[in-house]
């Protein structure tokens, strides 16, 4: 009996011990499988980890993983953690695990990919400073870590200033890679405006989603005063194949509407010709009717801005330099760039323009010796003009609007003009190049034509052939949409009727530079345009 009791006690002890062992084992397993959520961190979009077979695989930076915090595995001399994404097991180095998603980006060194503007704030055209390509940048923050592990914007520190750059292959990278075209083909082009090879040439952005530019833009011009007659222009459009309109936003001292940007940057500018509501209603009519709308802004000819900001203006003998009736802000001044692009951005966002056309993108064509151009960045004139265009396209492409640049007809000569315009540089940087080869601006005998203003077909054909040669030597060129003369000649009053309009269009088309045309009539006379209906079909 006594022996039986002892056996029972032993058996119960074994059972109890076994139960405790199971309990202890389960408790330990639970401890080992306890998880906490962490995030993958790194200086690249993809992080190297190991799958359940301990083969290398990659996961995206910022991915959330459930880490078994009490279980460590040694793998190739390093401590790794078991972690789960859903039901999938990974082995992850402890060094790439952080507690919050905000800590997931650990880049410290970046490089600028192009001559670049660093922005004061995201989504704002306000310029903090300009930098050259291959400038080292210290990353101090970021905005918007995407699901693919990439970052939308980096906050960077350079020259003890902190600002923002968009993170894409155009702007910043972990290591500098030269993505430019070979600019040595332009080394022979020299002038007071600079050397053609001093500019860097890059591939263009693609087409903007949802913004279809006409293949051939047949365009009429409307100034600030005539916008009130919008129905007359719509009537002409309805009777013709016109599919686009250029509408003035700022034409030197004339402001088309009450603009908050103008009031902020240039308070001495004249009040808008129209109220914002009137201007918006007129542009909306064009948009509603399906026309491609282009807002025109004159840039470096602006007395009001020069008077408001004399520190940005060209100076001569201690005074504001006046030429062709106006004072001229410097092409090198970033504040001038910023003002005009901020105005463009406002116009696109407020009124729905499809494109912004910048005019007077140049220095004055005459500059006396000793004039102070305020060149704080030690750029050539051609560099300043091209860098301005790249800045404008960066800002406006983000608004889903294209950029066109007006140039002198002289630029088809293929040389670097003294005022900073060089066809291959501008055509490469902009979406559209719009030259102004008005026949009455060519002297007697030009292109071998006795009186060019009386023979607009031959003038435009010869000019267009030269422009075509410029396009052919341009990397990734812009569309060519040319201004044509739609006013009677200032030389001798030769009437520019429908036949003269047709002659110009035919000349450009036969020369192979017909991505469109724009009718220039300073008064934007719709009555004059009415006489062209028969040839605008």
Backbone torsions φ then ψ of 488, nearest 5 degrees: -70, 145
Residue 514 has pLDDT above 90, yes or no: yes
Q: Which two tokens stand for residue 95?
A: 């060094």
Q: Which two tokens stand for residue 291?
A: 């026309």
Of 17-21, 251-255, 329-333, 527-531, minimum mean pLDDT range: 17-21
Mean pLDDT to the nearest integer, 82-98: 91
Coil, strand or helix: which one is 511? helix
- How far lies 375's CA from each of 47, 333, 371, 380, in Å? 45, 8, 11, 9
Burial class of residue 401 (count of CB atoms within 10 Å of its CB; 0-12, 13-18, 19+): buried
Residue 73 pLDDT: 77
Distance CA 26, CA 230 (A): 82
Residue 8 pLDDT: 67
What whole-number percentage of the chain has pLDDT above 90? 85
Residue 28 pLDDT: 47
Coil, strand or helix: which one is 261? helix
Distance CA 227, CA 244 (A): 15
Instruction: Answer left, alpha or beta for residue 76, where phi above 0 means left and psi between -120 and 50 means alpha.
Output: left
Q: Which residue has the higher pLDDT, 13 or 110?
A: 110
Residue 121 has pLDDT above 60, yes or no: yes
Backbone torsions φ then ψ of 248, nearest 5 degrees: -65, 135
Predicted confidence band of residue 71 (pLDDT cuts 50, 70, 90): confident
- Distance linking the first and last C-alpha atoms of the chain: 122
Give, for 466, the enclosing helix (H) or strand (E): helix 456-472
Give, for 82, the enclosing helix (H) or strand (E): strand 78-85
Is the distance from CB of 35 to CB of 82 less than 8 angstroms? no
Mean pLDDT (the chain) is 93
Q: How many CB atoms lie within 10 A of CB 71?
A: 16
Looking at 365-455, list the stretches that DSSP marks H as alpha helix, in order from N- to C-terminal side.
381-398, 423-429
Mean pLDDT to the nearest integer, 445-461: 98
> What residues are paired with 396 via a beta bridge?
none
Coil, strand or helix: which one is 274? strand
- DSSP per-residue string spanning 89-102: EEEEEGGGEESSGG
Is the distance from CB of 289 to CB of 237 less than 8 angstroms? yes
Q: Which two tokens stand for residue 433?
A: 């190049």
Residue 505 has pLDDT above 90, yes or no: yes
**Which of 437, 485, 481, 486 has its CA nearest to residue 462?**
437
Mean pLDDT to the nearest integer, 364-375: 95
Strands 116-119, 127-131: pairing kind: antiparallel
Q: Can you list the positions of beta strands (E) in 423-523?
A: 432-436, 479-480, 482-485, 516-520
Q: Could you read off the pLDDT of 128-148 as tens digits, one per residue?
A: 999 999 999 999 999 999 999
Mean pLDDT to the nearest integer, 154-181: 93
Q: Which value, to the nearest 10 degrees, does the dihedral of the CA atoms of residues 300, 304, 305, 309 take?
A: 130
CA-based max dimension of the chain: 141
Residue 218 pLDDT: 98
For 256, which DSSP code? S
Sign for the CA dihedral angle at 190, 192, 196, 197 comes to: positive
- CA-derived radius of gyration, the chain: 32
Is the distance from CB of 439 to CB of 489 less than 8 angstroms? yes
Q: Could you read off the pLDDT of 246-286 as tens digits, one per residue?
A: 999 999 989 999 999 999 999 999 899 999 999 999 999 99
- Between CA 341 and CA 338, with CA 358 as vertex, the angle to 5 degrees is 20
- How far lies 462's CA from each of 458, 490, 497, 512, in Å? 6, 21, 21, 11
Q: Structure pTM? A: 0.91
* Contacts of 104 by beta carbon, 8 Å cutoff, 6+ apart: 39, 40, 41, 42, 61, 62, 98, 145
Query: What is the layout of strands, in order, in the sheet containing 64-75?
Result: 56-60, 46-51, 88-93, 78-85, 64-75, 35-40, 97-98
């Amino acid at each position: 009996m006594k022996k039986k009791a002892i056996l029972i006690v032993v058996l119960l002890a074994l059972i109890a011990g076994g139960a405790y062992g199971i309990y202890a084992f389960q408790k330990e397993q639970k401890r080992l499988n306890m998880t906490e959520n962490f995030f993958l961190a790194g200086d690249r979009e993809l992080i190297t980890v190991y799958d359940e077979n301990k083969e290398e695989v990659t996961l995206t930076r910022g991915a959330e993983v459930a880490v078994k915090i009490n279980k460590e595995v040694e793998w190739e001399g390093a401590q790794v953690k078991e972690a789960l994404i859903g039901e999938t097991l990974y082995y992850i180095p402890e060094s790439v695990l952080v507690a919050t998603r905000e800590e997931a980006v650990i880049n410290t060194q970046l490089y600028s990919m192009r001559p670049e503007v660093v922005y004061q704030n995201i989504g704002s055209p306000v310029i903090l400073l300009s930098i050259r390509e291959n400038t080292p940048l210290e990353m101090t923050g970021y905005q918007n870590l995407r699901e693919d592990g990439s970052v939308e914007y980096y906050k960077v520190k350079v020259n003890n200033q902190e600002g923002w750059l968009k993170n894409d292959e155009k702007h910043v990278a972990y290591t500098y890679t030269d993505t430019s075209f070979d600019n040595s083909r332009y080394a022979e082009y020299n002038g007071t405006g600079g050397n053609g090879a001093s500019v860097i040439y890059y591939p263009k952005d693609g087409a903007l989603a949802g913004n279809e530019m006409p293949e051939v833009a047949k365009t009429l011009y409307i100034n600030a005063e005539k916008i009130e007659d919008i129905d007359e222009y719509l009537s002409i459009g309805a009777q013709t194949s016109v599919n686009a309109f250029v509408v003035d936003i700022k034409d030197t001292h004339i402001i088309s509407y009450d603009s908050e940007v103008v009031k902020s940057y240039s308070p001495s500018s004249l009040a808008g010709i129209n109220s914002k509501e009137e201007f918006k209603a007129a542009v909306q009519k064009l948009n509603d009717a399906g026309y491609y709308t282009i807002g025109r802004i004159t840039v470096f000819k602006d007395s009001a801005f020069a008077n408001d900001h004399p520190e940005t203006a060209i100076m001569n003998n201690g005074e504001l330099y006046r030429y062709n009736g106006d004072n001229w802000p410097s092409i090198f001044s970033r504040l001038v760039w910023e003002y005009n692009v901020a105005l463009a951005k406002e116009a696109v966002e407020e009124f729905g323009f499809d494109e912004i056309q910048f005019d007077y993108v140049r220095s004055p064509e005459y500059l006396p010796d000793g004039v102070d151009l305020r060149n704080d960045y030690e750029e050539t004139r051609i560099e300043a003009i091209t860098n301005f265009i790249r800045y404008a396209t960066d800002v406006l492409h983000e608004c889903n609007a294209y950029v066109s640049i007006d140039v002198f007809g002289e630029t088809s000569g293929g040389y670097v003009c003294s005022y900073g315009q060089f066809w291959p540089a501008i055509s490469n940087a902009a979406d559209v190049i719009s030259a102004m080869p008005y026949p009455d601006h060519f002297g007697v005998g030009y292109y071998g034509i006795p009186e060019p203003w009386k023979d607009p077909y031959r003038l435009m054909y010869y000019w267009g052939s030269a422009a075509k040669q410029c396009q052919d030597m341009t990397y990734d060129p812009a569309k060519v949409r040319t201004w044509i003369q739609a006013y009677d000649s200032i030389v001798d009053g030769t009437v520019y009727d429908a036949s003269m309009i047709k002659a110009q269009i035919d000349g450009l088309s036969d020369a192979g530079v017909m991505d469109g045309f724009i009718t220039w009539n300073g008064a934007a006379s719709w009555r004059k345009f009415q006489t062209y209906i028969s040839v605008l079909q």
